[in-house]
Structure 1
């Protein structure tokens, strides 16, 4: 299962980098950008519905924008994938990663008066990430949210207890590990937000840049 793979973008190290960034961004957007969840749109949809029920236009705008940005991000990613899939010098996923870096850097320059735009930008970046990086070592998982990963991890663990299939136990551990990494990223995001405020997102951009550079290596065993 964990032998040689062809794409660096499907490696463990890239999964760790992306999960750290995913957790960091959620903590950052919540703590620094008006308590909005940039990654997990379920929370925003709940708050959006609540705002509609309360007939509060300002809150409706606040929560509908990141949801719409997520939609645009997924759609844009598919356009880039189809247009750049045959590129030889750079992989289409690297293009996505670099776009994420640029967007995160831009967010750090936005004052709190531009929180709506900042959240839209972060949601766009997260959507592009989750749509582009969906499988690592042959295991499908998300790096910007945990609900699906938690379900898959627990299902595999339960199946292992009934069947004794070691591969299912290994996959389960992989999911749980990524959930832990996401949590570490969120903790780092909360800590950085307290100390560096809106510019703390640049730490996420630096980590993503490291991932972009790593992806120039075509193959890895890890």
Structure 2
């Protein structure tokens, strides 16, 4: 199950990467613009802000950033259990279970008022961790769909190595990374504009993108062959 004709898992197809990366960029823009300027996906920023507020004695504000970090750790932990318990399941791929949980969490986030922004960020960080821990490579290339710094480093490394060696495979990998970065930026841009104009429930668009990804993973051949 979940294999394309070329033997590559559907969970590693580029078309799936596009939907997951759009959702990843969208979520980061939403959490920043609608949920108290916290990055649900970019935990490095939260660590910096946590340390800064602890140093300044702003312990209440520090907790505001600590909770998404704890949720991210919890999301990775739970994902490993999902993988362990359902990796041999025949009717549904364990990664589809992860996507369904993400969709449910984001739907709940859209229902939460501003007075529950901390909980909303916790749920989004948990969902992000599940995604980044479950979908680690596409077309056989390690790649993240919820953050860009690793992709930027890899893209530039591959580009430089291509210029040195003239190996076209390195150029292909570099373009792969830059394309994913571009898709993330598009998702973030759309998420920022729509968050400002629509408000809290706009996160359901990200949930819809993830649900499309869930459905795509049922397609074994046609899209997989093109990926």
TM-score with structure 2 setting the length: 0.95
Partner residue, 1:50:
52
The CA deviation string for residues 28-79 of structure 1, in whole angstroms up to 9 with x for no partner, is: 0000000000001000000000010011122111000000000000010000
Partners of 1:17 and 1:207 within 8 A in 2: yes
SS in 1 for 2:199: helix
In 1: Cα distance, 2:25 partner to 2:140 partner: 22
Which consecutive segments of 4 or more residues in structure 1 shift more than 3 A?
none
Q: Which moved more, 1:171-180 or 1:4-13?
A: 4-13
> 2:62 pairs with 60, 63, 77, which one?
60
TM-score with structure 1 setting the length: 0.97
RMSD, aligned α-carbons: 1.2
Query: Are positions 1:19 and 2:18 aligned together?
Result: no
Partner residue, 2:112:
110
Give the gaps of 5 or more residues in structure 2: none
In 1: Cα distance, 2:96 partner to 2:115 partner: 31
C-alpha displacement of 1:6 = 3.2
Partner residue, 2:96:
94
Q: Which moved more, 1:161-170 or 1:6-15?
A: 6-15
C-alpha displacement of 1:169 = 0.2
Give the gaps of 5 or more residues in structure 1: none
